[in-house]
Amino acid sequence: MLVGLLIGVLFGLALQTIYAHQSELMKISISWFNIVSNGYLQLLKMIIMLLVFASILLIGTPVLGGVLMTVLN
């Protein structure tokens, strides 16, 4: 994980060094990178919402929680 962070930092520094900060190419590149990052964040939100919903079911209603655990296993 630390290697990925370092690669990302070096890639960002290289883009800033090669292209100007207000370059049109830089703005286009950032918009493309945002597509990937926003998709990843939306996926995380979906997983977290499912886990919260499942935990509410497990705590709130024991009968439904038992059924849910049977289905998930």
Rounded average pLDDT per 10-residue block, the chain, 73 residues: 88 82 80 88 92 78 63 68
φ, ψ for residue 43, nearest 5 deg: -65, -45
* CB contact at 8 A, 37 and 43: no
- Angle of the 24-60 helix axis to the 62-72 helix axis, nearest 10: 120
* CB contact at 8 A, 15 and 26: yes
Provide the pLDDT for residue 4: 87
Provide the pLDDT for residue 57: 72
pTM for this prediction: 0.50
Contacts of 1 (CB under 8 A, 6+ apart): none
